[in-house]
Amino acid sequence: MAAGVKIRLSRAVAGEAVIHRMRPSSARFLLESPPLFLPLCTVSDMSTPDIEAVKNYLLSLQALICAALQEEDGKAQFLEDSWERPQGGGGRSRVLTEGAAFEQAGVNFSHVFGDQMPPSATAHRPELAGRRWQAMGVSLVIHPRNPYVPTSHANVRFFVAEKDGAEPIWWFGGGFDMTPYYGFEQDAAHWHRVARAACAPFGEDVYPRYKKWCDEYFFLKHRNEPRGIGGLFFDDLNEWGFDKCFAFMRSVGDHYIQAYRPIVARRKDTPYGERERDFQLYRRGRYVEFNLVYDRGTLFGLQSGGRTESILMSLPPLVKWRYNWRPAPGTPEAELYEVFLQPRDWLKGAV
Amino acid sequence: MAAGVKIRLSRAVAGEAVIHRMRPSSARFLLESPPLFLPLCTVSDMSTPDIEAVKNYLLSLQALICAALQEEDGKAQFLEDSWERPQGGGGRSRVLTEGAAFEQAGVNFSHVFGDQMPPSATAHRPELAGRRWQAMGVSLVIHPRNPYVPTSHANVRFFVAEKDGAEPIWWFGGGFDMTPYYGFEQDAAHWHRVARAACAPFGEDVYPRYKKWCDEYFFLKHRNEPRGIGGLFFDDLNEWGFDKCFAFMRSVGDHYIQAYRPIVARRKDTPYGERERDFQLYRRGRYVEFNLVYDRGTLFGLQSGGRTESILMSLPPLVKWRYNWRPAPGTPEAELYEVFLQPRDWLKGAV
């Protein structure tokens, strides 16, 4: 799939899905594409949103990430479902299960739209009332098999509300964050170094600001516990004008796989036993708790008639809960809580 | 522990818990107590709330249910944690894990109070503003091991808000509902027959009204799917005056074990294999989704500084999610969806 080429979503009966296997040839082609950070689409000079360009970028990003993950896995392949939303729009969900490296990897593209914002959305933003709107994004959660490989999440999204005779209202959001089961300073520093690199061309204050927002957002209040070691989180971004905002969203999207893949490669063959697997399944419970209790995207999706199976692809394939369990002091499991689940500057003193 | 005797909660540092094993002798004693539906406490004739009587009943109910479940399990024992809530009150959580019949059974008693209702609670009920309040209840979720035994949930609760020189404002709530993995008409009819019997002394319209409320409440909107085969659900009950309302709450509390235990006894030794276990773990995901996305008690508890480990004792010990899975037509798994996860009158034509 070449950059700039429109993707025709396979038509499917609303609520049902067409499943077909990605052809290996297309996956290979994607890996031979130009480096991701080069603009994939011609971006207009004006600061009016180029919706088609955003959509083309998102579809390309989904394809590139899937191709890279599939190559890293080396065993399983992504299956694709195209779906339509009865109220407008649809999406393309790709899921890889029971891989060598990945127990489950879900990478969603969606583009949904409507004639009217729901009243719940316009109550806080009355300027959106009466506008037609579109929301599009790529969202992914990767649950690795080996407990030494962290779970990762990334999302980039674009929203625009239009009305004849008025300037469009739009913004970008997104980010990526990582949730280790066993912590490694080297991995945390690499993850944040790539996050900082994604932000660097856009201003010195960008990484610290969005790193802090990420720490605040991915936090389980009922456990008084961060979800992981953070990364980047941004929302409502429009202050730089369309071109620069879009470039930033692309930079975040493009850097995700550079942040994650080397960590997967480094840890995926680490020997582990029952104990580590058990701790991984227990800690996955926190992921479920966060996504179902707090995550705005998940809750908005479920409440707004989104496709449940695509939204809940983020949930781990196997999870344990255990009443009032705590790791024994001095163990690697306790170290996760004491050292890694503490917001901190991961680049301070890191090489 | 005799009915009417005040329980002294073991003191514990706030947020920590004292764990000790229930003595088998006390469990045996409870089984030798008088039949449950006899009033366990002397109820005043006036219609002013007798808070101590409610508390004593709830503590006895927790003990009786635990004793009956422990006897039915025959292998594992309940462990008890007493805990205090820093903002006022505390509770007594009992959990049985890795039993013969029950993979996890959690039975909570809690009694929490405060000087001021939170603004979020008084926004909808301004008459509660400025009142000191107490909430107490027993809440339980039982996750059996054998997939032919349904999961069950019960809850009875009492709320009172007081102010000097004014009548107390109070209400009762509660109910019980059942979630099978493999459906049996016999079990569903028994469950609802006991639910109807619990309501019968209080009026002919009581069972149909609270049965309907249960069907409506335990519903996963994002799946368009009931959580199970229902039972009873009631809330804000004060219209009958304190004595009758309290008697109804006791009737619901007392009937739960009569509804559940015979089903456990009948199904717990049914042979099963990987397929049934797998379906059970998959369906448990729906339980997690309901409790974390919709359940008012869970969300209120997590948001109001409740004890997280006691609240999330409702979550199953092992759970699977699987992208876009559906049972094959004509299988017992499909029958669950087609026959049992459909609101219906389970007593129509039942013997």
Ranked by mean pLDDT, which of A110-114, A119-123, B273-277 comes out on top? B273-277
On chain B, the residues whose CB falls within 8 A of the CB of A288 are 288, 292, 319
Q: Which of B302, B313, B321 sits opposite A323 (nearest CB)?
A: B313
- B316-337 average pLDDT score: 98
Q: Is A91 an interface residue toward B (CB < 8 Å)? A: no
Q: Which of B17, B316, B318 sits opposite A324 (nearest CB)?
A: B17
Spatial distance between the Cα atoms of B176 and B156, rounded to a whole number of angstroms? 9
Q: How far is B308 from chain A (nearest CA, A)?
A: 6
Using one digit for the tens of pLDDT, what is the confidence trace for B107-155?
Answer: 999 999 999 877 777 777 888 888 999 999 999 999 999 999 999 999 9
Q: In which band, very low, low, confident or very high, does the pLDDT at A2 lie, cut at 50, 70 and 90?
A: very low
Q: Region of B324 please: left (phi>0), alpha (psi -120 to 50) or beta.
A: left
On chain A, the residues whose CB falls within 8 A of the CB of B320 are 317-319
Q: Which of A17, A321, A322 sits opposite B324 (nearest CB)?
A: A17
Q: How far is A294 from chain B (nearest CA, A)?
A: 9
For the purposes of burial, counting CB atoms within 10 Å of the CB of B187, is it exposed (0-12), middle (13-18) or buried (19 or more)?
Answer: buried
Q: A321 and B316: CB-CB below 8 Å?
A: yes
Q: Which of A223, A285, A317 sits opposite B321 (nearest CB)?
A: A317
Nearest Cα neighbor of A151 from A61, A284, A62 is: A284
Using one digit for the tens of pLDDT, what is the confidence trace for A140-185?
Answer: 999 999 999 999 999 999 999 999 999 999 999 999 999 999 999 9
Spatial distance between the Cα atoms of A30 and A47, rounded to a whole number of angstroms? 30
Q: How far is B67 from chain A (nearest CA, A)?
A: 20
Is residue B267 within 8 Å of residue B148, measured between CB atoms? yes
Q: Is A344 an interface residue toward B (CB < 8 Å)? A: no
B24 residue type, one letter: P
Q: Is A17 an interface residue toward B (CB < 8 Å)? A: yes
Q: Which two tokens stand for residue A288?
A: 């479920």
Q: What is the pLDDT of residue A350?
A: 67
Using one digit for the tens of pLDDT, what is the confidence trace for B20-45?
Answer: 333 333 332 333 233 333 333 344 44
Interface test with A, best of B224, B300, B319 (most A CBs within 10 A): B319
Percent of chain A residues past pLDDT 70, beyond the cut: 86
Q: Does residue B315 carry a pLDDT above 80?
A: yes
Closest alpha carbon within chain B to A317: B321
Q: How far is B313 from chain A (nearest CA, A)?
A: 6
Q: Is B315 an interface residue toward A (CB < 8 Å)? A: yes
- B263-279 average pLDDT score: 98
Q: A313 and B322: CB-CB below 8 Å?
A: no
Using one digit for the tens of pLDDT, what is the confidence trace for A25-57?
Answer: 333 233 323 333 333 334 444 468 999 999 999
Closest alpha carbon within chain A to B316: A321
Using one digit for the tens of pLDDT, what is the confidence trace for B180-222?
Answer: 999 999 999 999 999 999 999 999 999 999 999 999 999 999 9
Using one digit for the tens of pLDDT, what is the confidence trace for B62-108?
Answer: 999 999 999 999 999 999 999 999 889 999 999 999 999 999 999 99
Using one digit for the tens of pLDDT, what is the confidence trace for B158-182?
Answer: 999 999 999 999 999 999 999 999 9
Q: What is the pLDDT of residue B107?
A: 98
Q: What is the mean pLDDT of chain A?
A: 87
Q: Is A285 an interface residue toward B (CB < 8 Å)? A: yes
Q: What is the pLDDT of residue B45?
A: 40
Name residues 101-160 of chain B within 8 A of A (Cβ). 104, 106
Closest alpha carbon within chain B to A307: B222
What are the start-end ranges of the H helices in chain B?
24-31, 51-73, 119-124, 185-199, 206-217, 242-267, 274-293, 296-303, 308-311, 332-335
**Is A105 strand, coil or helix?**
strand
Using one digit for the tens of pLDDT, what is the confidence trace for A262-287?
Answer: 999 999 999 999 999 999 999 999 99
- Other Cβ atoms less than 10 A from the Cβ of A154: the count is 26
Q: What is the pLDDT of residue A86?
A: 87
Q: How far is A38 from chain B (nearest CA, A)?
A: 34
Closest alpha carbon within chain B to A316: B321
On chain A, the residues whose CB falls within 8 A of the CB of B309 are 323-324
Q: What is the pLDDT of residue B48?
A: 86
**Is B207 strand, coil or helix?**
helix
- A217-244 average pLDDT score: 97
On chain A, the residues whose CB falls within 8 A of the CB of B143 are none
Active site residue B20: no
Spatial distance between the Cα atoms of B299 and B319, rounded to a whole number of angstroms? 20
Q: Which of A222, A288, A313 sits opposite B323 (nearest CB)?
A: A313
Using one digit for the tens of pLDDT, what is the confidence trace for A281-295?
Answer: 999 999 999 999 999
Which listed residue (A153, A190, A192, A255) is catalytic? A153
Separation of first and last alpha carbons in chain B? 38
Name residues 222-281 of chain A within 8 A of B (Cβ). 222-223, 281
Closest alpha carbon within chain B to A16: B324
Q: What is the pLDDT of residue A33?
A: 32
On chain B, the residues whose CB falls within 8 A of the CB of A289 are 292, 312
Q: What is the pLDDT of residue A288?
A: 98
Is residue B74 within 8 Å of residue B288, measured between CB atoms? no
Spatial distance between the Cα atoms of B264 and A195, rounded to a whole number of angstroms? 53
Q: What is the pLDDT of residue A218?
A: 98
Q: How far is B87 from chain A (nearest CA, A)?
A: 15
- B213-242 average pLDDT score: 97
Q: In which band, very low, low, confident or very high, does the pLDDT at B306 lie, cut at 50, 70 and 90?
A: confident
A167 vs A86, A236, A244, B47, CA distance in Å?
Answer: 28, 16, 18, 64
* From A52-56, B46-50, B199-203, B261-265, the region with the lowest mean pLDDT: B46-50
For the purposes of burial, counting CB atoms within 10 Å of the CB of A82, is it exposed (0-12), middle (13-18) or buried (19 or more)?
Answer: buried
On chain B, the residues whose CB falls within 8 A of the CB of A318 are 281, 318-320
**Can you tell me the ipTM of this complex?**
0.86
Q: Which of A309, A320, A322 sits opposite B323 (nearest CB)?
A: A309
Phi, psi of A85 (to 5 degrees): -95, 125
Residue A161, strand partner residues: A133, A169
Q: What is the pLDDT of residue A131?
A: 92
Q: Which residue has the tokens 């089961």?
A: A181
Q: A293 and B302: CB-CB below 8 Å?
A: yes
Q: Is B12 an interface residue toward A (CB < 8 Å)? A: no
Q: Please name the helix (run of DSSP H) or strand (run of DSSP E) that holds residue A155, with its range, or none.
A: strand A151-162
Nearest Cα neighbor of A195 from A88, A187, A113 is: A187
Q: Which of A104, A292, A311 sits opposite B292 (nearest CB)?
A: A292
Q: Is B322 an interface residue toward A (CB < 8 Å)? A: yes
Which listed residue (B143, B153, B190, B192) is catalytic? B153
Q: Which two tokens stand for residue A145?
A: 């098999």
Q: Does residue A1 carry a pLDDT above 70?
A: no
- B294-310 average pLDDT score: 89
Q: Which of A106, A302, A313 sits opposite B222 (nearest CB)?
A: A302
Q: Which residue has the higher pLDDT, A123 or A258?
A: A258
DSSP single-letter state for residue B234: E
Spatial distance between the Cα atoms of A62 and A52, rounded to a whole number of angstroms? 15
Q: What is the pLDDT of residue B36?
A: 36
